[in-house]
Amino acid sequence: MLKIFFGLLWLLGDIVPWHLASNTIRPTDVRIEYWLLKQYDDVVIDTHTPIISWSLPTVANNNYQQRDIQQMAYQIKIYERPTHDTTTSILLWDTEPAASSFSTVQYNGPMFITDCRYELHLRYWSSDGVKSNWFIGKFRTVFSDVFNGSQWIGSNSINMNQLRKTFNIESSSSITSAFAAISGIGYYELHVNGQPVDPSRKLDVGWTTYQQRTLYVSYDMTKFLTGGANAIGVFLGQGWYNRQQWIIGPGPRTELSTQYGPPRFIFHLTICLSDKSTININSDETWLGREAEHRADNVYMGTVVDYRAARPTFSTVTFFDNTSLWINASILSSPVKDGTLSLQRMPPIRAGPDALNIPDLSSIDDITTSIVESYLYGADLTKFNGVLIPIGTDYGNGQIFDLGQNFAGWCRVTGINVPSSYIVQLRHSEYRYSQGTNGIRFNGIDTENLDSIAATDTFILNGSVNETIEPMFTYHGFRYLLVNGLPDVDSSQVTCYPVHTETSLIGNFSSSSVILNQIQHNILWSQLSNTMSLPTDCPQRNERRGWMGDAGLSVDEALYNFDLIQFYLNFLTMIQDNQAADGAISDTVPFTVGFSPADPNWGTAYIKIAWALYEHTGDITILQQYYTGIRAWIDCLTRQYRQTGLAHFFGHWGDWVPVAPMTNLSLISSFAYLHDVHRFINISTILNQTENTKNYTELYHTLAKEFHTVFYDGTLRGYADNSQAANVLALALPNVVPDEIQTTVWESLLNNIKSQNMHFTGGIVSVAQLYPLLSSNGNHDLAVQLASSTTYPSYGHMFNNPIQNATTTWETWNTLPDSAGSSLNHHMFNSIGSWFYRYLAGLRLSLAEHRIYIHPRMTHDETLLKAVSATVKTQKGLVRVAWTRAVDLLERLSMPSLSAQIVKMTVTIPTTLEGIISFDPLLKSGQCHSIYVDQKLLWKRSSLYCPQHVHTSAIDDLSLITVVNGVKQLSEVVQSGTMTLRVSSGQYQFHAVWIENSC
Ligand SMILES: *[C@@H]1O[C@H](CO)[C@@H](O)[C@H](O)[C@H]1NC(C)=O
């Protein structure tokens, strides 16, 4: 079928040559298993059915993105490049030109072989006559049998955290390829012939439930090895494996503490030679190890590094050391019990400039940028180049440096000149003392909110000239650095590095509100601070766990702002690994604290993350892969429900950290349960699981009825205690609040907000529902007003208070000065960031349907929000929306006399996608007067009407006056007044004019 179509296309090709074929046009953002091939020169996969995806480049003409361009066909070829031979390439798979607009394809060619290089060739044809050039990318494969013959090694007798091994390559043949696989836990660093193999890789491998799944990493070592003698070196850190583990609260304490032991690693190196022979180097007892300069290292406590014991040349062939004790390594047990050793399928944690990639998000039309405000406090992610330097220094309990930004990472101090054996300590905090309760004023750093941990790095110097100190195998969450034990340090000696899983900033949100922009700034930094191979709750105190509640609440925001597809896929796999036979999942993953089954609002992360990944990729295989597990979790909840009913439904944490007393726990848990069942029906429909769709729809109807019956209190005119949170959660669930009492419940909610002086008093669960609920139910003005508040409790209060002008999102709405403060760097309140993109910018991705929805909600009070600009570099290309409201725009449309409200909106829809652009009324009872495209009148209402008095048939003629390339169809929702245009890909500038409804 495809071939026949293509025969046609070829014919056409002969008649109308692909005139735009050029060397410069290629598919962009080509990914395999979500690795961006352009960005990584050594992409490694361990699957035989990788997902290949790409987007089409933006084609600009006269500085304007061209419209209505569709991909007509693509062709993918995969070549095998044998490892013993650098010249041959064998064609393994060829899709031939395949007629399709799809740009996500699953490889279904022959099985790959392990340790082999491959090349991916990809090109496309598009409707504008372009036959693109080939994109060529490389990847290679590895499968876990790669460790055959290798042993886990380390030591039970000494703190063996540095190991080495020399070996010879005795052959006249040249090295054609050399691949190393290593897993080192808690952490490792791999060195070869005197240098680190990848110095930017930190705190590797990622933290997992090691007995279920331990991650390994593969390195291309070809360029590091030479014929003759070679040496390999490994540093080990304790990480999360040999932990001094503070269990706060309930948790599976004994189970875990007995499972883990001293650090260990497994290593295998395969060297291929041109004579087709292979040399294997394994980890075994022949390796020598010792205790290195890092005498102690601990994620929470910090490190103790004795530079007198450093042996920087330990991984060289000629290394000789007769002053430290090198002994043979011992074989240790594998950390994996009934689990797997599997490839780390996400970028590693990196530091500073290596950790964050900043793609160009600028657009062809940047007019709106000029009216967008900046934010107030902190370091700009797009400008700080990955390095924080002090913005000030003074003295408190030592010399204190203010980095001006709260973050997760560490500092390096250079240029130290002190005698050998000097001890220097670096301490870290988020707070400075202000006023003591007894009136005494301190000026030091305040570490009270770290609870029982030190977060202190101790260095014993060796006395050399211009010494540098930098911690190993730990990280801290802080804004202030305290230096103890040194004479005056100049600020220029201090550089600090944010540390997190490597990612790219793919989103930009800014607005005319400096408050909203500061919230967005804080969201970005608290998200990155907690992107540490898994979503941690906080980066500073004795916690830093994979709390599911936090992860589920921020995932959508995180995926709008950062390219974290692989990071969350890894976390989903961990959740799935950890799922019990009865479907139960736990509050934290790895399960170190909390309960199993998880609080329903924590367990919901499973379904939220899977769904968010689907929305942000359009990749249906993600839903397929986790479908059974998600269903098992819902069924686990259903079994709990059958025992108690919703009235007594279980929960542990509820609407965490509210201001008002927390509302009925069972209601909060029931909310999550219903939410998940509803989403599951959604997913079942997408996956054509008709039986499940039917059964769970029935279940949902029962639950929805019961929710209302059990929790509604007619006397209070609201749910449960009639608190804001309870009513928000009820209203947010589809079909729970009966139509006839919708008005009553809304009144209760709005009155309560008014009685709190326009503040919301709920916690993390309800606030995530609040903003979308208000904006999609005619209360968008209130939503913007609440979001713009700077008084307690509000997001704005976090940077408008006597304690600190926050540069990250706080754990609580308030933190008390001079008492055990809470974390200043949490992401569980970051859910509002999703509302920024979805409602203020109005940007919703539906990539599986090849569609982008743009529907910015507009306040009726023009002064609340005047402009928004948002860009997201999606998996299918750059999406952009920028809107401005201004009366003077009328003059440009030559209608200054009209008493009207007007919005200008610039929109960019990526090539091959369709845009559904909606314009919201700018006035309370506004009617759209006219719509312009590129300043040309597209449509004008011929006569005004009263929506409440008309039938659908009386709707105004919606046919378009002007034929504009790419603009397909206009529709109107009479009740709301919203006007919607269907458009093809490309860039558009619209003006929508609104006038008062004269009814
Ligand atoms: C130590 O640092 C100072 C200041 O940067 C520099 O002038 C000097 O050359 C350095 N000394 C050595 C031995 O590197």
How far does residue 490's CA lie from ligand 1's centre (Å)? 14
How do residues 155-200 score in pLDDT, each as one tens digit? 999 999 999 999 999 888 999 999 999 999 999 999 999 999 999 9
Examine the domain organization and report whether 728 and 831 are in the same domain: yes
Residue 690 and residue 684: Cα distance in Å, rounded?
7
In a domain, 544, yes or no: yes
Examine the domain organization and report whether 825 and 921 are in the same domain: no
> How confident is the model at residue 4, as a pLDDT?
42
> How confident is the model at residue 11, as a pLDDT?
39
Query: In the structure, what pLDDT confidence band is assigned to residue 19 with cuts at 50, 70 and 90?
Result: very low
How far does residue 400's CA lie from ligand 1's centre (Å)? 24
Tell me what the mean pLDDT of segment 327-340 comes to. 94
How far does residue 415's CA lie from ligand 1's centre (Å)? 7
Is the distance from the beta carbon of residue 318 to the nearest atom of ligand 1 less than 6 Å?
no
Atom of ligand 1 nearest to the CA of 465: 13
* CATH number where 689 lies: 1.50.10.10
Examine the domain organization and report whether 538 and 670 are in the same domain: yes
Atom of ligand 1 nearest to the CA of 417: 1
Residue where one domain finishes, among candidates 106, 141, 176: 141
Average confidence score pLDDT of the chain: 91
How far does residue 466's CA lie from ligand 1's centre (Å)? 6
> How confident is the model at residue 672, as a pLDDT?
98
> How confident is the model at residue 15, as a pLDDT?
37
| Ligand 1 atom 10: residue of nearest CA | 466
How many Cβ atoms from other residues are within 10 Å of residue 168's Cβ? 11
In a domain, 531, yes or no: yes
Residue where one domain finishes, among candidates 294, 325, 344: 344
Instruction: Taking the CA atoms of 110, 112, 117 and 121 in sequence, report the sign of the dihedral they define.
Output: positive
Examine the domain organization and report whether 130 and 149 are in the same domain: no
Examine the domain organization and report whether 120 and 148 are in the same domain: no
* CATH number where 212 lies: 2.60.120.260
Answer whether 30's CB lies under 8 Å from 54's CB.
yes
How do residues 505-529 score in pLDDT, each as one tens digit? 999 999 999 999 999 999 999 999 9
Give the C-alpha distances (Å, rounded to integers) separating 554 from 527, 530, 559. 8, 11, 9
Examine the domain organization and report whether 184 and 44 are in the same domain: no
Residue where one domain finishes, among candidates 90, 120, 141: 141
Examine the domain organization and report whether 605 and 519 are in the same domain: yes
Pocket test for ligand 1, best of 417, 465, 490, 491 (most atoms within 8 A of CB): 465
Atom of ligand 1 nearest to the CA of 466: 1
Residue 498 and residue 480: Cα distance in Å, rounded?
13
| Ligand 1 atom 1: residue of nearest CA | 466
* CATH number where 69 lies: 2.60.40.10
Residue 654 and residue 649: Cα distance in Å, rounded?
11
Examine the domain organization and report whether 813 and 858 are in the same domain: no
Dig out the tokens for 485 from the structure. 């034990």
> How confident is the model at residue 885, as a pLDDT?
92
In a domain, 512, yes or no: yes
Pocket test for ligand 1, best of 466, 491, 492 (most atoms within 8 A of CB): 466
Is the distance from the beta carbon of residue 490 to the nearest atom of ligand 1 less than 6 Å?
no
Give the C-alpha distances (Å, rounded to integers) separating 221 from 87, 324, 979. 19, 29, 58
Residue 361 or 750, more confident: 750
How do residues 201-254 score in pLDDT, each as one tens digit? 999 999 999 999 999 999 999 999 999 999 999 999 999 997 666 555 555 554
Answer whether 613's CB lies under 8 Å from 565's CB.
yes
Examine the domain organization and report whether 595 and 700 are in the same domain: yes
- Give the 3-state secondary structure of residue 510: strand
Share of the chain above pLDDT 90, in %: 80
Answer whether 454's CB lies under 8 Å from 302's CB.
yes
From 272, 809, 389, 764, select the one nearest 547 (Cα to Cα): 764
> How confident is the model at residue 115, as a pLDDT?
87
Q: How many domains does the chain have?
A: 4
How far does residue 220's CA lie from ligand 1's centre (Å)? 36
In a domain, 96, yes or no: yes
With a CB cutoff of 8 Å and minimum separation 6, the contacts of 559 are 565, 568, 612, 613, 615, 616
In a domain, 456, yes or no: no
Residue 330 and residue 155: Cα distance in Å, rounded?
5
Residue 830 and residue 526: Cα distance in Å, rounded?
8
How do residues 755-770 score in pLDDT, each as one tens digit? 999 999 999 999 999 9
Examine the domain organization and report whether 834 and 849 are in the same domain: no
Residue 233 and residue 166: Cα distance in Å, rounded?
9
For residue 349, the cross-strand partners are 202, 501
Examine the domain organization and report whether 904 and 936 are in the same domain: yes
Q: What DSSP string runs through 569-630?
A: HHHHHHHHHH--TTS---SBSS--SS-SSPPHHHHTHHHHHHHHHHHHH--HHHHHHHHHHH
In a domain, 491, yes or no: no
- Where on the phi/psi map is residue 688: left (φ > 0), alpha (ψ -120 to 50), or beta? left
How do residues 604-622 score in pLDDT, each as one tens digit? 999 999 999 999 999 999 9
In a domain, 387, yes or no: no
| Ligand 1 atom 13: residue of nearest CA | 465
Examine the domain organization and report whether 103 and 201 are in the same domain: no
Side chain identity at residue 156, one-letter code: N
- Domain of 327? 144-344
How far does residue 465's CA lie from ligand 1's centre (Å)? 8
Is the distance from the beta carbon of residue 149 to the nearest atom of ligand 1 less than 6 Å?
no
In a domain, 390, yes or no: no
Is the distance from the beta carbon of residue 466 to the nearest atom of ligand 1 less than 6 Å?
yes
Is the distance from the beta carbon of residue 415 to the nearest atom of ligand 1 less than 6 Å?
yes
Dig out the tokens for 908 from the structure. 């960019």
How far does residue 312's CA lie from ligand 1's centre (Å)? 20
Please tell me the least confidently modeled range out of 101-110, 254-263, 604-613, 830-839.
Answer: 254-263
* CATH number where 929 lies: 2.60.420.10
How far does residue 495's CA lie from ligand 1's centre (Å)? 17
Is the distance from the beta carbon of residue 465 to the nearest atom of ligand 1 less than 6 Å?
yes
Side chain identity at residue 199, one-letter code: P
> How confident is the model at residue 997, as a pLDDT?
74
